[in-house]
Amino acid sequence: MRQYFALLIFGIILAFSSCRTDFDTVASSGDLKFSKDTVYLDTVFKNIGSSTYQLKVYNRSKNDISIPTVQFKKGLNSKYRMTIDGMSGNEGKIFKDVTLLAKDSLYIFIETTADITDANPTDFLYTDEIQFDSGANLQEVALVTLIQDAIFLYPNQNPDGTKEKIKIDGKEVDGFYLSENDPTNGNELLFTNDKPYVIYGYAGVPENKTVTFEAGARIHFHANSGLYVGNNASLQINGTTSKTDKLENEVIFEGDRLESLYSDIPGQWKSVIFEKGSTNHAINHLTLKNAVIGLDFRSPSNTIEIKNSQIYNCAEYGILAQNAQIEGENIVINYAGLASLSCVYGGNYKFTHCTFNNNWSTPSQFAVNLSNSLAGATPETNPLTQATFNNCIIYGSSTNEFNLSKNTSASFVYQLNNCLLKFSSSTTNPNYQFKTDTEHYTNIILNENPKFYNVSENKFNIDKTSSAFAKGNQAYIIPTDILGITRTSPPDLGAYQSQDFPKK
């Protein structure tokens, strides 16, 4: 009997609940609140989808409301797309009768894919509005996106539907060879500053050809893409000193995501590979960011000159050199998952007025790594005939930022002159006797903070309070620093001439 009575009571409660009207909605009165009145979608290249951006919509009233329509002002013709609390509406453009409970909020996620022809021809902005309701209750949130025109370089599609390939490390990868007479792009071996370039796959430099990058060229690599300089091919980067922070005369290599979210994410693209047998390379005023390996030298035929260049945020190495010959001046490298500079399998290296720093988030990386061996190579060792560092800074967030991996079956010649070095662990290892080993170390400043201006923003300027101030040897001076500023005597260590910092 008690069971029947309980069921009766439950049925009455259920009946009354079904008759309640406090879950009914009322029409929106135009009093919605928004997390922002304009949503700025960061710069994108034409026809490359943007990141997803968020808008939050609030119902501050005591009533559950229904918004009759949420749509783009341009309707189905809009180049924007949105989802509302996971709903896709009509092609992501138009939504009907959107419910928003009292004192609650909903999320709108917005993205776009637009062509340069969709943008305003005077400022290259593509705009629209999200409209909530209509008539007297109409509320709008503006949308703004900057569209950049670009030259796109990518593998052709073969008749069987597969992509064009080139061979790297004995494997076929998506790629193509740059042409001097491409029917669409003209001379693809000359990168100018007229428009940015976007590269898909590996762009290869044909044998006996030279790829040249003019001052101000902007090169953007898609995911898993890079540049391949093969046998008897050459690379020339001809950047010059810039007068402003926009680096207008710098050659810049980076990923193809222009949104601020991606500005310092490592590993967005692969590498610039200099294959064994490549030749006659010169790099001046290059800024390279967010690769897996920035510059990957695989025993090129002759000496590579690298001057006034900076490499940041590489997932593995800033520069990886295998049995290479490099003369480097005014180089800055920071944030690398394994080493900022790694010279392995011997070679011949001379670096002057360089700043090798590594503030990667884990403690197992180095600013500089030197080795005369390579596992799996034949033979496994190769002579390191010279590794000289003059007036340099070797620093970072790890306890020890300098590593020597010496195999006694091949020569290992190295010398640090007038360098600031971080190596905090006391050791009896004869390789690291910085004060007493005069054969390998001269005038070493050990474990003193160089007081860089802002490491997290890759600003390695110093001022007169730095331990690197006026500690260089005049015999090794490079007359101007990475910014083109004349060095004083005695010179400062590293790539930057000291100056007063701007106020933060």
Neighbours of 183 (CB within 10 A): 6
Q: Which of 148, 172, 204 is the last residue of a domain?
A: 148
What CA–CA distance (Å, rounded) separates 459 from 233? 34
121 and 238 belong to one structural domain: no
The identity of residue 358, as a single letter, is N
338 in the same domain as 429: yes
Of all helices (H) and strands (E), which one includes residue 16? helix 2-18
Q: How far apart are CA 181 and CA 420, in angstroms?
A: 50
Pair 394, 356: CB distance under 8 Å: yes
- What pairing do the DSSP bridges indicate for beta strands 445-446 and 420-421? parallel
73 assigned to some structural domain: yes
110 and 205 part of one domain: no
Residues 158 and 106 in one domain: no
Instruction: Give the range of the structural domain holding residue 143, as residue numbers without chain letter.
Output: 26-148
> What is the rounded distance in angstroms from the CA atom of residue 206 to the CA atom of residue 188?
11
Q: Are residues 48 and 119 in the same domain?
A: yes
Q: Where are the beta strands (DSSP E) in 299-365?
A: 304-314, 317-336, 339-352, 355-358
9 found inside a domain: no
Number of domains in the chain: 2
Task: Give me the pLDDT at residue 158, please.
Answer: 83
Is residue 216 in a domain? yes
Instruction: Single out the residue of 244, 180, 190 nearest to residue 217, CA to CA.
Output: 190
Is 414 within a domain? yes
Q: How confident is the prediction along the chain (504 residues), in pLDDT tens digits per residue?
A: 445 444 445 454 444 444 434 457 888 888 999 999 999 998 999 888 999 999 999 999 999 999 999 999 999 999 999 999 999 989 999 999 999 999 999 999 999 999 999 999 888 899 999 999 999 999 999 999 999 999 999 998 888 878 899 999 999 999 999 999 999 999 999 999 999 999 999 999 999 999 999 999 999 999 999 999 999 999 999 999 999 989 999 999 999 999 888 999 999 999 999 999 999 999 999 999 999 999 999 998 899 999 999 999 999 999 999 999 999 999 999 999 999 999 999 999 999 999 999 999 887 899 999 999 999 889 999 999 999 999 999 999 999 999 999 999 999 999 999 999 999 877 889 999 999 999 999 999 999 999 999 999 999 999 999 999 999 999 999 999 999 999 999 999 999 999 887 655
- Is residue 245 located within the same domain as residue 371? yes
Q: Are 106 and 170 in a shared domain? A: no
Provide the sign of the torsion angle of the four alpha carbons 130, 133, 135, 136, taken in this order.
negative
- How wide is the angle at C-alpha 287 spanned by C-alphas 286 and 288, nearest 5°? 110
Last residue of a domain, one of 102, 129, 148: 148
If 0-12 CB within 10 Å is exposed, 13-18 middle and 19+ buried, where does residue 439 land? Answer: exposed
Final residue of a structural domain among 113, 148, 183: 148
Same domain membership, residue 171 and residue 142: no
Residue 481 inside a domain? The answer is: no
- Does residue 89 belong to any structural domain of this protein? yes
351 by DSSP, 3-state: which? strand
Task: Tell me, yes or no, whether 499 lies in a domain.
Answer: no
Question: Is residue 132 domain-shared with residue 167, that is, in the same domain?
Answer: no
Measure the CA angle with vertex 183, ends 188 and 215; round to 5°.
25
pLDDT of residue 231: 94
Q: What pLDDT shows up at residue 503?
A: 57
Q: What is the reported pLDDT for 215?
A: 98
**pLDDT (tens digit per residue) in 337-360:** 999 999 999 999 999 999 999 999
Q: Which of 97, 70, 68, 98 lies closest to 82 in space, CA to CA?
A: 70
Cα separation of 452 and 469, whole Å? Answer: 11
Q: Which residues of 187-210 are buried (b: 16+ CB within 10 A; e: fewer)?
A: ebbebeeeebbbbbbbbbbbeebb
Cβ contacts of residue 154 below 8 Å, gap of 6+?
A: 176, 199, 200, 201
Mapping DSSP onto H, E and C, the string for 235-289 reads: EEEECCCCCCCCCCCCEEEEECCCCHHHCCCCCCEEEEEECCCCCCCEEECEEEE
Cis peptide upstream of residue 450 (ω within 30 degrees of 0) = no
| Pair (144, 34) in one structural domain | yes
Buried b (16+ CB within 10 A) or exposed e, 448-478: eebebbebeebebbbeeebbbbebbbeebbb
Q: What is the CATH number of the domain that holds 70?
A: 2.60.40.10
Residue 371 lies inside a defined structural domain of this protein: yes
Q: Are residues 117 and 163 in the same domain?
A: no
134 and 254, same domain (yes or no): no
